[in-house]
Amino acid sequence: PKKLRICEAVSSSDMGTNVKVQGWVRSVRHQKQNLFLHVNDGSSLQSLQVVASSQLNHRLLTFGSAVEVSGLLVKSPSRRQEVELQANQIHVVGECNPVDFPFKVKERHDLEYIRQFPHLRCRTNTFSSLLRIRSEATTAIQLYFRDKGYVQVHTPVITSNDCEGAGELFQVEPFFSVPAYLVVSGQLHLEVIAGAFPGVFSFGPTFRAENSQSRRHLAEFFMVEAEISFTQSLEDLMKVMEEMFRSTTEHLLAQCPEDVALFHKHVTPGHNWGCDLQTEHEKYLVKHCGNIPLFVTDYPYTLKPFYARDNLDKPLHTVAAVDLLVPGVGELCGGTLREERLDLLKTRLALAGLDETYRWYLDLRRFGSVPHGGFGMGFERYLQCVLGVDNIRDVIPFPRYSHSCLL
Ligand code: 4AD
Ligand code: MG
């Protein structure tokens, strides 16, 4: 028999052929003559209905067990699916004791419940959908940047710099000749590469030793970062943020409509906000503007890191920074124009006592420096926003946060 993934089997193009599928049992139903199984293999939200004679020894065919089924793919008499598989052979590859298995057949477990089983939660429809969406969104982001001519850069995970200067560094065991940390942002490395390219981006894990239990903070999260050369205005950055959001979301809705719909139907909560003051401010702003995404620009000089470009021409002492705030999540993207003027940057670094550490960064302004800027988007916050998921721990396969590093 021809081996098919279940998304292929249910699409009915192989009707009338002998096929073999492999997957996990999502439901079992016994009738007098027949035994009905639904088998899912993660290739899509859909399960394939398998019909077998009830003569078959079905003691081991339980919810959650892994099976290999061979048989004839036929048109289904039921209106609920196009095709079904008339099994002539079912092999239970891995048994699953339904009494001990934490998920129960036909029950819709909520995200909070399934979060307790990080090693098993991919067996639920909801988390399986999430993983497909995550994967597809990753592709969509890469396609967006590729189509716009950006070069993807693999920035390091271990670094000797503290990009954001917010004191949220995970220190790495002494090994190098200098203190080293897990990276909080790939920005400074991207800035190095943007010194020779029109646009670059990175997409990788970033780390923050943030002592927060909030529903939108992780200690390890994925960040999409872009750095654009010859950029002189925040408008250019906003345009890229907006286009990237739009293009990624359109791609997702086109490629994973069923998976996204599952979230919108069963998961999306009302906008239930975190409670720290900053989040409250963001909430107010988004609400005040009619519950739509919005940009906030020109932050006070003292609130942003050393690299942010001084708005010398504006009356209040601000920098050219922009955050994108979205309903349900708050800050989704943060970006700035980078200070490219050597004298201003020198002064700022000297004030912070960082001029020695960042000698190489000053060099970037000495040799063929151009105005440039960039931003970072928290990938999990993006997923929270688009899927309406309340807790960030439910949109990443293995969440790490204050006091919790399971598996
Ligand atoms: O605003 P942040 O700190 O900006 C930077 O790190 C810049 N250096 C990025 C750049 O310009 N290249 O972080 C960017 C985004 C935030 O807007 C937020 O979406 C997300 O990263 N983020 C987190 N997501 C989950 N958990 C956390 N602890 C996060 N901290 C930031
Ligand atoms: Mg920020």
Per-residue pLDDT tens over the stretch 222-256: 999 999 999 999 999 999 999 999 999 999 999 99
Please indicate, yes or no, if residue 112 is contained in any of the structural domains.
Answer: no
Q: Which of 106, 135, 170 is the last residue of a domain?
A: 106
- Computed over every residue of the chain, the mean pLDDT equals 93
pLDDT exceeds 90 at position 31 = no
Rounded distance from Cα 170 to ligand 2 centre (Å): 18
Provide the number of structural domains found in the chain.
2
73, 102: one domain: yes
* Buried/exposed 94-122: b ≥16 CB within 10 Å, e otherwise: eebeeeebebeeeeebebeebbebbeebb
81, 141: one domain: no
400, 263: one domain: yes
Rounded distance from Cα 88 to ligand 1 centre (Å): 54
Which residue's alpha carbon is at the smallest distance from atom 26 of ligand 1?
217
Rounded distance from Cα 351 to ligand 2 centre (Å): 22
The answer to whether 188 and 155 have CB atoms below 8 angstroms apart is no
Q: Which ligand is nearest to the CA of 325?
A: 1
Q: Identify the domain containing residue 88 by its residue range.
A: 2-106
Mean pLDDT throughout 367-382? 98
CATH number of the domain encompassing residue 66: 2.40.50.140
Cβ neighbours for 55, distance < 8 A, ≥ 6 positions apart: none
Reported as type and span, the H/E element at residue 91 is: strand 83-94
Cβ neighbours for 52, distance < 8 A, ≥ 6 positions apart: 34, 35, 37, 58, 71, 86, 87, 90
Q: Which ligand is nearest to the CA of 224?
A: 1
- Closest atom of ligand 1 to 377 CA is 15
pLDDT exceeds 70 at position 57 = no
140, 15: one domain: no
Which residue's alpha carbon is at the smallest distance from atom 20 of ligand 1?
378
pLDDT digits 0-9 by tens, 147-176: 999 999 999 999 999 888 888 999 999 999
What local confidence, expressed as pLDDT, does residue 275 receive? 40
70, 142: one domain: no
Q: Which of 57, 83, 106 is the last residue of a domain?
A: 106
What local confidence, expressed as pLDDT, does residue 378 receive? 98
pLDDT digits 0-9 by tens, 168-210: 999 999 999 999 999 999 999 999 999 999 999 999 999 999 8
Rounded distance from Cα 334 to ligand 1 centre (Å): 6
Nearest-angstrom CA–CA distance, 157 and 186: 8
Nearest-angstrom CA–CA distance, 300 and 277: 17
- Closest atom of ligand 1 to 208 CA is 28
Rounded distance from Cα 332 to ligand 2 centre (Å): 8
Please indicate, yes or no, if residue 268 is contained in any of the structural domains.
Answer: yes
Instruction: Please identify which residue in the block is written with the tokens 């989040």.
Output: 279
pLDDT exceeds 50 at position 274 = no
Q: Which of 50, 81, 106 is the last residue of a domain?
A: 106
Reported as type and span, the H/E element at residue 332 is: strand 330-337
Q: Which ligand is nearest to the CA of 210?
A: 1
pLDDT exceeds 90 at position 16 = yes
327, 225: one domain: yes
What local confidence, expressed as pLDDT, does residue 278 receive? 72
What local confidence, expressed as pLDDT, does residue 291 receive? 85
Please indicate, yes or no, if residue 114 is contained in any of the structural domains.
Answer: no
pTM for the complete prediction? 0.96
What local confidence, expressed as pLDDT, does residue 368 receive? 96
Which residue's alpha carbon is at the smallest distance from atom 28 of ligand 1?
217
The answer to whether 176 and 317 have CB atoms below 8 angstroms apart is no
26, 69: one domain: yes
The answer to whether 83 and 76 have CB atoms below 8 angstroms apart is yes
158, 287: one domain: yes
57, 194: one domain: no
23, 133: one domain: no
CATH number of the domain encompassing residue 367: 3.30.930.10
Which residue's alpha carbon is at the smallest distance from atom 25 of ligand 1?
217
Q: Is the C-alpha dihedral spanning 248, 253, 257, 261 positive or negative?
A: positive
Provide residues with CB under 6 Å of ligand 1.
163-164, 185, 187, 208, 210, 217-218, 221, 223, 225, 331-335, 374-378, 380-381
Reported as type and span, the H/E element at residue 139 is: helix 125-147
11, 156: one domain: no
